[in-house]
A = this chain, B = another copy of it.
Amino acid sequence: MIEIIELNNNSYLMEKLTNRTQFEYKEVNQVVEDIIEEVKNKQDQAVRYYTEKFDSVSIDDFLVGEREIKQAFKSICPKLKSDLERARDNILLYHKEQLTESYTITKENATLSQRVRPIEKVGIYVPGGSASYPSTVLMNAIPAKLAGVSERIMITPPSSDGTIKDSILVAASLAGVTKIYKIGGAQGIAALAYGTETIPKVSKIVGPGNIYVAMAKKKVSGYVGIDMVAGPSEILIIADETANPDYVAADLMSQAEHDPLAAAILVTDSNELALKVQASLNRQVETLERTDIIKQSLRDYGAIVVTKNITEAVDLANEIAPEHLELLTKDPFTLSSDIVNAGAIFIGEYTPEPVGDYFAGPNHTLPTSGTAKFSSPLSVTDFIKKTSVIYYDRQTLVDAKDSIIRIARDEGLTAHANAIEIRFRNELE
């Protein structure tokens, strides 16, 4: 089911991982373009049409009412509700450290500021069907609220009976979502980007989705902001002979179950561990529910890489820059400081990756496909924007003017020079 490869086959592994995200979706492309055009032109009418077509339900009022939310609080398992509250509190605690302050520098009679303001309106996409996760709601809505975004608008596709899962509605309420609409797919993204009679136009859209949603986000990106176009999920585990092979196998499978395109990779300097993990995978997979997805994902994109030592393992991890990285080694804390590129690092045997997915506090929206080399987990800073503010008094400009004029002239931009000169022309004459 899963291959064991030597590190010198490393380029083979890299190719496998890279190809994973380079699929062409020409048909999807055209469908999504048409949907966006239709929603831009026909607004609610188009959204209603596509909701009937794709979600097989006719929705009169897209807006979720107070009554539906109250009903969800009544219906939800009380323990699950308090689990979501605990998760919310942890997420709040971790993310509130990310608030960015404005700053001002005063230099004689000049003042320079970087002013931080929340984005005014944000759209949060939450998938429906089998990938309808309350944790998605918490992880996207809480940082937006902390940033001070005033309208936090969630959209999610309804079930064919027109309802939304209780845990999704409860999570939205706990996380401070201001409005929920029953709309999904590319039509939902288009509605948020361009606005309709019902759906407010937002300035930024965040949240995961299927290929239609991802393509639609990519297409409206630039016109509105987006968080990222996420690729399939990944885990890389660095483990040595001290690791428990059953834990390693279980953790690999917890990523593999997401998607046949998910990648689960163990890198170890222990040949013995490699064999034990392989055996444990074969044993455990049969006891799980999403067996077929796990088998397919481990076969196509899984690997156990055996290295000469842990240093080689760290180098490989830094090259791959995985979304999730677990360290199951003798001294994982020390090792963690050698990790340069990763979305999130999970340290030691009692921090399996689901701790981060749901509960610990850090965001679970993480850079995939090696983008951890240059991008970051979703955070409060994704929901703010900065403006520079510059004030010079007359004397400050007098002191600076010759330098500014000379640089402008060197750049051949004489109207720039003129904008300075005209303020002193009478004195020059």
A residues engaging B (CB < 8 A)?
Answer: 77, 79-80, 82-84, 86-87, 93-94, 97-98, 103, 105, 107, 110, 112, 114, 117, 119-120, 130, 132-135, 167, 203-204, 222, 224-225, 229, 246-247, 250-251, 253-254, 256-258, 284, 287-290, 294, 333, 336, 339-363, 366-367, 371-377, 379, 381, 384-394, 396-397, 400, 402-404, 406-408, 410-420, 422-423
Contacts and interface: CB of A to CB of B under 8 A. Distances in A.
A403 B222 contact: no
A360 B247 contact: no
A114 B362 contact: yes
A352 B420 contact: yes
B359 A403 contact: yes
Given A253-B418, A418-B250, A423-B247, A388 B356 contact: yes
Contact of A120 (B133, B251, B373, B415): B373
A140 to B, nearest CB: 15
A344 B389 contact: yes
Nearest to A398: B350
Given A130-B412, A354-B408, 15 more contacts: A94-B105, A94-B112, A97-B105, A224-B374, A247-B423, A253-B419, A256-B415, A257-B414, A288-B415, A289-B415, A347-B389, A349-B423, A351-B392, A375-B385, A376-B387
Contacts of A359: 400, 403-404, 407
Given A374-B204, A375-B385, A394-B350, A250 B343 contact: no
- Count of chain copies: 2
Contact of A419 (B254, B343, B419): B254
Contact of A355 (B114, B342, B392, B417): B392
Nearest to A367: B385
B391 A386 contact: no
B203 A374 contact: yes
A355 B390 contact: yes
Contacts of A294: 415
Contacts of A367: 385
A116 to B, nearest CB: 9
Given A348-B391, A353-B419, A410 B112 contact: no
Nearest to A132: B411
B167 A357 contact: no
11 contacts: A83-B402, A83-B404, A203-B373, A257-B416, A294-B415, A339-B387, A344-B387, A358-B408, A359-B400, A362-B388, A376-B387
Nearest to A340: B117
A357 B132 CA distance: 47
Contact of A351 (B355, B390, B416): B390
Contacts of A224: 374
The winner among A341, A356, A358, A366 for most chain B CB atoms within 10 A is: A358
B414 A289 contact: yes
A419 B387 contact: no
A92 B423 CA distance: 27
Contact of A414 (B117, B167, B288, B412): B288
